[in-house]
A = this chain, B = another copy of it.
Amino acid sequence: MPTYNPPLRDMQFVLHEVLKVSDEFKALPKHAEIDADTINAVLEEGGKFAAEVTFPLNISGDTEGCVLDKSTHEVKTPTGFKDAYAKYVEGGWAALSCDPEYGGQGLPFVVNQCFYEMMNSANQAWTMYPGLSHGAYEALHAHGTDEQKRLYLPKLTSGEWTGTMCLTEPHCGTDLGLLRTKAEPQADGSYKITGNKIFISAGEHDMTPNIVHLVLARLPDAPAGSKGISLFVVPKFQVNADGSLGERNPIFCGGLEHKMGIHGNATAQIVIDGAVGTLVGQPNKGLAAMFVMMNAARLGVGNQSLGLTEVAYQNALAYAKDRIQMRSLTGTKAKDKPADPIIVHPDVRKMLLTARAYAEGGRAMACFCAVLLDKEINHPDEKVRKDSAEMVALLTPIVKAFITDNAWAATTACQQVFGGHGYIKEWGMEQFVRDARINMIYEGTNTIQSLDLLGRKILGNNGASLKKFGKLVAQLVEAEGVNEKMAEFINPLAYLGDQMTKFTTEIGFKGFQNPDEVGAAAVDYLRVAGHLVFAYFFARMASVALKEIAAGNTDPFYQAKLQTARFYFAKLFPETASLMRTARSGSKVLMDTDAVFA
């Protein structure tokens, strides 16, 4: 059976020693008083919750799955899920970074980021139930009417109700412009919504008395395509003015999907048969409102894969130390045993270090992004808010796609460490792989993320946002360039930073002549960009570690960090060489293929 230990030490390192979040928070009136001890205490408790309450339900939830009672349209979640949720609400975990105006604790997003990383390590399927609520909360908080906020936000904040995002329909996923669900205006200002949605995560369950569905639909006079989509809040049970539950709304679970993984989460087909809803934001501006949810969700998906990478790594490491098989290539190591533990083998270490480096790099990047989100929302200086928002926008597709692709490689590698046992359910490794797979697909496939990055976020503003990140890289290179011990980290970073500008210009130029050049290069480009960000953070982390070691700190943590950074630059970073070649090889070999696909 797998185990999980919250990586609190590494979180503390990233938050306090690398990002120095307390300094950042001093500039944010809402968080000026939050110190490291408070953050650490919350994360320690959060880690306990994850390890003790939801982690033990991970394998059983996968095995048991969710069951729909077709006669009542009610879904029974796996044994223990409902109780765990009650504890989650009772512990106030739902409210962590929510607005105090609606009962939230008002903690910075980055604390929630770390808490959710642990929750995702512990049980991705379970964590999606409260996780999806965040999107609904954010959308209503940003775009809801006062009445909507009054009715829904306190319940979403407390966790008393959960929320969903009802976007996808059978014929439209990526292309929401095709959606057909209809909203008919009623005399009382409400709308009657009718249509069919699929792939609705946490779309129906038995954990809360109500579910707040946020539904994309078309008004009768809406223009065609994505400019005619509006957002509605459609609760499972209508909500009376006093907040009590009213009539059951005809928004039903029509079926549950049989999936590769995340079996503990109810992925619902939702039949909406004239359900009563109210408009969120402006008519026909639903996509804009939806993007508030979507961006949060994309960061959340990256975080899911970060969690899976960490927990897979921990278990593979334990197995590699425990399992004895063959002797080291350099001679017997465990003389008292009939064979050496498999961690003596270079390739076993390579698989473990791959996962570890992906976890540590991902954690640094995701926390950096979450702090930017805090600054985007709460910094008093508008320019800082704008700059932070721009950087979050740039990093969001990288967090989503790079971390989720890395997690696929990492969980697969960790499963491989177990040999045949990795293929057996009881060991838990194959579940991490199956669960990790969805993260590359939902909330915009990783191809879509790459087009968002290269097409919109980079070429869309002539590389301005990328230049801002490039400035951070340049500053680090300048600051550390004189430090000989940092050369092994700074040189490849500086090299890639330089290359990146040329590389981007080149693709931009080709793309201007032929947009397919952007589509052909985007996926490779995103991975190169991901490595630029990882190289930047591994260099920063190595710098902190070197300083501590130089100052006489003997905590082996710093030595470990340094070795992981060295591994990263030696074994993972060089992927950029091939990626730039394949990106540069252009679109012709892809598009001149009519004979192939005839």
Contact = CB atoms under 8 A, between A and B. Distances in A.
Q: Which of A329, A523, A582 gathers most chain B CB within 10 Å?
A: A329
A227 to B, nearest CB: 14
B437 A350 contact: no
B258 A345 contact: no
A437 B423 contact: yes
A68 interface: no
Q: How many copies does the complex hold?
A: 2
A581 interface: yes
Given A178-B339, A571-B582, A352 B597 contact: yes
A101 B595 CA distance: 46
CB-based closest 3 A-B pairs: A346-B519, A559-B595, A260-B430
B426 A258 contact: yes
A590 interface: yes
Interface stretch (A72-80, A281-289, A291-299, A561-569): A561-569
Interface in A371-428: 408, 412, 415-416, 419-420, 422-426
A586 B597 CA distance: 42
Q: Which of A177, A564, A581, A592 gathers most chain B CB within 10 Å?
A: A581
24 contacts: A171-B324, A172-B325, A175-B325, A175-B326, A259-B423, A259-B424, A317-B597, A321-B597, A329-B516, A346-B587, A347-B447, A349-B590, A353-B596, A408-B412, A415-B437, A416-B440, A423-B441, A433-B437, A563-B589, A563-B595, A567-B589, A567-B596, A574-B581, A577-B578
A437 to B, nearest CB: 7
Nearest to A260: B430
A461 interface: no
Given A353-B596, A578-B577, A259 B447 contact: no
A591 interface: yes
A589 B570 contact: yes
A571 to B, nearest CB: 5
Q: Which of A442, A516, A590 gathers most chain B CB within 10 Å?
A: A590
Contacts of A519: 329, 345-347
Given A416-B446, A563-B592, 4 more contacts: A178-B325, A260-B424, A423-B437, A423-B441
Interface of A: 168, 171-175, 177-178, 198-199, 257-261, 317, 321, 324-326, 328-330, 338-339, 343, 345-350, 352-353, 356, 408, 412, 415-416, 419-420, 422-426, 430, 433-434, 437-438, 440-442, 445-447, 450, 514-516, 518-520, 522-523, 556-557, 559-560, 563-564, 566-567, 570-571, 574-579, 581-582, 585-587, 589-593, 595-598
Contacts of A321: 597
A259 B425 CA distance: 5
Contacts of A419: 173-174, 441, 445
Contacts of A348: 447
B260 A520 contact: no
Q: Which of A350, A424, A518, A598 gathers most chain B CB within 10 Å?
A: A350
Contacts of A258: 424-426
A520 B351 CA distance: 11
A345 B563 contact: no
Contacts of A582: 570-571, 574
Q: Which of A441, A515, A578, A586 gathers most chain B CB within 10 Å?
A: A578
A597 B333 CA distance: 16
A410 B84 CA distance: 39
Contacts of A593: 349, 353, 560, 563, 567
A346 B420 contact: no
Contacts of A450: 347
Given A260-B425, A577-B581, A590-B350, A437 B442 contact: no
A129 B196 CA distance: 43
Given A173-B325, A174-B419, A556-B598, A346 B591 contact: yes
A585 B590 contact: no
Contacts of A438: 423
Nearest to A328: B516
A249 to B, nearest CB: 25
B591 A349 contact: yes
Q: Which of A330, A566, A589 gathers most chain B CB within 10 Å?
A: A589
A437 B412 CA distance: 9
Contacts of A326: 174-175
A339 to B, nearest CB: 5
A424 B346 contact: no
Contacts of A408: 412
A244 to B, nearest CB: 36
Contacts of A330: 514-516
B422 A441 contact: yes
